[in-house]
Amino acid sequence: MAADHDKIARIKEQLKSYPDYPKKGILFWDIFPILQQPEYFRMLKDALVVEAKKISPPVECVAGLEARGFLFGPLISLELNVPFVPIRKKGKLPGNLLSVCYSKEYGQDVLEVQENAIKPGKRVLLVDDLLATGGSLLASYHLVKKAGAQVAASLVIIELEPLKGRDTLPTDVISLIKL
């Protein structure tokens, strides 16, 4: 287990922060330096997969939230040999859609998924890069429920603990790095 903590600590060291981005008062955590270094990207992917494999009963589908959930969700789904489904912002998916409206810090937004992409009764793992207030993960939870499936857990790389987003979610939350 110590090796896993060491790896997570090494991954955390690669994060870069930007104060007052994208607006004043926000501290933006950039995960892209990790992706630019194959050794750390692989380490991060492996750590996410290890956590996903611990979920019991097993995950039957992985749903990634736009946009950075698209970077990690497919990698996890391939390792688990289960489907990957994108959860996108309004107007980005073709066909019949399920949608959920949710409140953000400065307005409202809509998340959508293709109607038959998530099969009823399946256990879905939600994947995103960061948990802040929990708004987009909560909306995604409701979207999965609308599809007739259940959320097995939410898996994020970074959790901003002072914002207490975990407390807003009705499912287990797995985070690799707590800030």
> Which residues belong to the active site?
68, 105
Other CB atoms closer than 10 Å to residue 173's CB: what's the count? Answer: 18
Cα distance between residue 179 and residue 171, in whole Å: 20
> What residue ranges in 14-133 does DSSP mark as E strands?
16-19, 27-30, 61-65, 84-89, 97-104, 107-114, 123-131
Cα distance between residue 11 and residue 29, in whole Å: 13
Q: Which tokens go with 15?
A: 């994060």
b/e map 35-65, b = 16+ CB within 10 Å: eeeeebbebbbebbbebbeebeeebbbbbbb
**CA-based nearest residue to 140, from 53, 49, 69, 81:** 69
Cα distance between residue 93 and residue 112, in whole Å: 8
